[in-house]
């Protein structure tokens, strides 16, 4: 794994420590650590593998052979069926909706948090910190209170059953802006000061000096935004009634009824697998930055 390298380099003191003291105690604790991790990994990964392999099983095999991690015979019929069944369970349509929603949302999040983070950390204007902390304080108020009126606002904007209902409201959150602001505050002041002396405007400094430097934190926020948007459940269940327009998470809820009673297990699992792939692929790409920027994030450390 690529991030192993990153982690080790961050952890150098860890590796250079000499083992002083009770050697036996260490090896026992090592075995405990291994057994614990192996058991837990098995518990965490088996459901995923079983779900994936079952999507390649025929219905008769699932019902007749019971629990088995790998299929006797790998078949692709389930995927053919779910991808061509566009009338009752248009999963391709749902996936496209989700991809559009999550991508648009993520792009806009990255723009909004980097621009706003710049404003709160690299610019000087009257009431800057007051404004920031007032908004942050309000945002700690539990979101359940604004759920019902949010629907009303989406309705008033004409966004019920449209992708905007999921793309726009999430941009208002303060969490990512807080992270980006912290990150930007850690960058040396000289960077933009010298650019400013050369006559560069804030717009120019933002684009050519700051954005390239905050790439790692933006990538992590982008990953969180994408998976958050992709996996959101309560909100889409509320704002979508039109089957064609909904994202895949809301769609899967319908599948419980459509393919219900486990008459079509392979199709159910295939649908779940299709809904997992995009976030999984994204995670594998972003993993390196992930570990990096959380290690760098001193705000979270004690």
Q: b or e along 252-272 (b: 16 or more beta carbons within 10 Å of the residue's beta carbon)? A: beebeeebeeeebbbbbbbbb
CB 187 to another protein: min, Å: 16
CA-CA distance, 100 to 110, in Å (whole number)? 16
The 8 Å CB, 24+ separation contacts for 147-153 are 147/234, 147/238, 151/238, 151/239
Q: Which residues, 109 to 168, sit near another protein by CB under 8 A?
A: 112, 115-116, 118-120, 123, 125, 128, 131, 135, 138-153, 168
CA-CA distance, 72 to 62, in Å (whole number)? 10
Q: Count of residues binding another protein (CB under 8 A)?
A: 110
Q: Does 19 bind another protein (CB under 8 A)?
A: yes
* Kind plus residue range of the DSSP H or E element containing 231: helix 215-231
97: closest CA among 234, 270, 224, 278? 278
For another protein, the binding residue among 84, 130, 190, 301 (CB under 8 A) is: 301
Nearer to another protein, 37 or 80 (CB): 37
Q: Which residues, 166 to 205, sit near another protein by CB under 8 A?
A: 168-169, 171-174, 177, 201-203
Q: Does 70 bind another protein (CB under 8 A)?
A: no
CB 171 to another protein: min, Å: 5
CB 86 to another protein: min, Å: 20
Q: Which residues, 26 to 55, sit near another protein by CB under 8 A?
A: 26, 29-30, 32-34, 36-37, 40-41, 43-45, 47-48, 50-51, 54
């Amino acid at each position: 794994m690529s991030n192993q390298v990153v982690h080790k380099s961050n952890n150098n003191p860890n590796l250079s420590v000499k083992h002083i003291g009770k050697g036996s105690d260490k090896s026992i604790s090592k075995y405990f650590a291994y057994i614990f991790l192996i058991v837990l990994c098995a518990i965490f990964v088996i459901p995923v593998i079983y779900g994936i392999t079952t999507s390649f099983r025929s219905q008769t095999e699932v019902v007749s052979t019971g629990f088995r991690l790998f299929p006797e015979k790998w078949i692709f019929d389930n995927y053919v069926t779910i991808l061509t069944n566009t009338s009752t369970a248009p999963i391709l349509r749902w996936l496209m909706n989700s991809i559009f929603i999550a991508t648009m949302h993520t792009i806009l999040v990255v723009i909004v948090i980097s621009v706003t983070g710049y404003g709160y950390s690299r610019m000087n204007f009257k009431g800057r910190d007051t404004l920031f902390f007032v908004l942050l304080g309000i945002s700690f108020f539990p979101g359940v209170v604004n759920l019902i009126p949010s629907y009303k606002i989406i309705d008033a904007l004409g966004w019920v059953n449209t992708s905007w209902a999921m793309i726009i409201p999430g941009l208002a959150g303060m969490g990512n802006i807080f992270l980006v602001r912290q990150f930007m505050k850690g960058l040396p002041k000289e960077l933009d000061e010298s650019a400013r002396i050369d006559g560069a405007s804030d717009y120019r400094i933002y684009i050519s000096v700051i954005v390239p430097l905050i790439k790692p934190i933006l990538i992590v926020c982008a990953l969180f935004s994408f998976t958050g948007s992709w996996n959101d459940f309560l909100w889409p269940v509320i704002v979508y009634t039109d089957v064609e327009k909904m994202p895949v998470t809301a769609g899967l809820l319908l599948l419980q009824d459509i393919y219900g009673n486990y008459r079509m297990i392979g199709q159910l699992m295939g649908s779940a697998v299709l809904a997992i792939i995009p976030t999984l692929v994204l995670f594998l790409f972003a993993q390196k930055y992930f570990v990096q920027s959380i290690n760098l994030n001193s705000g979270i450390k004690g």
